[in-house]
Amino acid sequence: MKMSRNSLEIRPLSGSIGAEFAGIDLAGPLDDDLVAALRRVWLDHLVIVFRDQDLPPECLLAVARRFGRPVEYPFVAGLDGFPEVTPVVKLEHERVNFGGIWHSDTAYLDTPPMGTFLVAREVPPYGGDTLFANMYLAYETLSPAMRGLLDRLVAVNSSRKADASKTREDRMRGGAGSGANRDYVAEHPVVRTHPETGRKALYVNLGHTVRFKGMTEEESAPLLRFLFAHQTRPEFTCRLRWQPGTLVLWDNRCVQHNPINDYHGFRRVMHRVTLAGDRPQ
């Protein structure tokens, strides 16, 4: 049966970003028409959410492969037998969460990921929500003069930026991936053009962007501070409350996210699959 966007039950998460589907079992058959319809909604809403999904690692990878090519994450070893499935865990005694800062995933790589699947296995009784922000709107709401300036700039991104060291990925104590001891640095345009939609998105982030190419960190800091604050304005965001079996796919090319670290004393376990991307243009 052909599946169109109009036949899907979709609930927007906010006025700017995110959509939740109802009545879709991703463990069942996923024909090409359904996948194409889901992808169109994803490109329009940037973040898509599926509830009550029973997806063990092999099924999670099978779903991810319908949207892109799973790749290993450099900082954390994957599950035994499933190296592309990364455990994202905060234990009861830990105080720092994984990636607990506004960021785009691994912007310090030459080819950052296209998108990320994240499924909740265990969640705290409260807290642990994730915020998402629309980087199309972050760019489009700037003044023409500011957009013209940013269009010409290149950002230097580093995996060892001081603020990012507060996150779990930069303080690995065990279970590290093969690239955990490397310092990754990549230069990307401050404004990238989405290869599928053609829209421009602001592509700097608090977790990884150090400075502008050709400028010192001190010279870059005032404009970066403004951009970091601007791109996470509340009207650009949505907030997701997790439940066991919640699966989310976000578009890393035009989305930032921030997992909220407000559940000390409780355990939170997620499984993540990263989809290979292309070099930002």
* pLDDT band per the 50, 70, 90 thresholds, residue 41: very high
Q: Is 39 a known active-site residue?
A: no
Strand ranges inside the chain, DSSP E: 9-12, 19-22, 47-50, 70-71, 85-90, 115-122, 130-134, 154-158, 185-189, 191-193, 200-202, 209-212, 237-240, 247-251, 255-259, 268-275
Confidence of residue 167 (pLDDT cuts 50, 70, 90): very low
Catalytic hit among 105, 188, 251, 268: 105
Please confirm, yes or no, whether 80 is among the known catalytic residues: no
- The catalytically annotated residue of 192, 211, 253, 257 is 257
CA 208 – CA 107 distance, rounded (Å): 7
Q: How far is the C-alpha of 249 from the C-alpha of 259, rounded, in Å?
A: 14
- Catalytic-role residue among 45, 103, 188, 253: 103
Whole-number pLDDT of residue 144: 98
> Model confidence at 181, in pLDDT bands (50, 70, 90)?
low
- Residue of 90, 89, 114 lying closest to 195 (CA atoms): 114
Catalytic residue status for 271: no
The fold of the 5-275 domain, in CATH, is: Double-stranded beta-helix (3.60.130)
Q: What is the pLDDT of residues 79-111, one digit of tens each?
A: 999 999 999 999 999 988 878 899 999 999 999
- What are residue 10's DSSP bridge partners? 21
Q: Are strands 47-50 and 19-22 parallel, antiparallel or unpaired?
A: parallel
Does the pLDDT of residue 174 top 50, yes or no? no
- Ranking 37-41, 76-80, 155-159, 167-171 by mean pLDDT, the lowest is 167-171
Q: What pLDDT score was predicted for residue 276?
A: 98
Per residue in 203-262, pLDDT (tens digit) is: 999 999 999 999 999 999 999 999 999 999 999 999 999 999 999 999 999 999 999 999
Q: Which residue out of 168, 188, 194, 272 is catalytically annotated?
A: 272
From 44, 180, 171, select the one nearest 95 (Cα to Cα): 171
Distance separating alpha carbons of residues 88 and 96, to the nearest angstrom: 12
Beta carbons within 8 Å of 37's beta carbon, 6+ residues apart: 3, 4, 5, 7, 8
- Residue 97: what pLDDT? 84
Distance CA 154, CA 137 (A): 20
117 and 82 in contact (C-beta within 8 Å)? no
| Mean local confidence (pLDDT), 36-41 | 97
pTM higher than the cut 0.95? no
> How much is the average pLDDT of 8-17?
96
State CA 148 to chain mean position distance.
26
pLDDT of amino acid 170:
38
Q: How confident is the model at residue 95, as a pLDDT?
A: 85
Q: Which of 7-21, 42-56, 160-174, 235-249 has the lowest mean pLDDT?
A: 160-174
Q: CA nearest 168: which of 86, 224, 243, 247?
A: 86
More reliable by pLDDT, 32 or 176: 32
For the chain, the structural domain boundaries read: 5-275
Task: Return the structure tokens found at 135.
Answer: 């980087």
Check if 103 is active-site.
yes
Confidence of residue 2 (pLDDT cuts 50, 70, 90): very low
Q: What is the pLDDT of residue 183?
A: 86
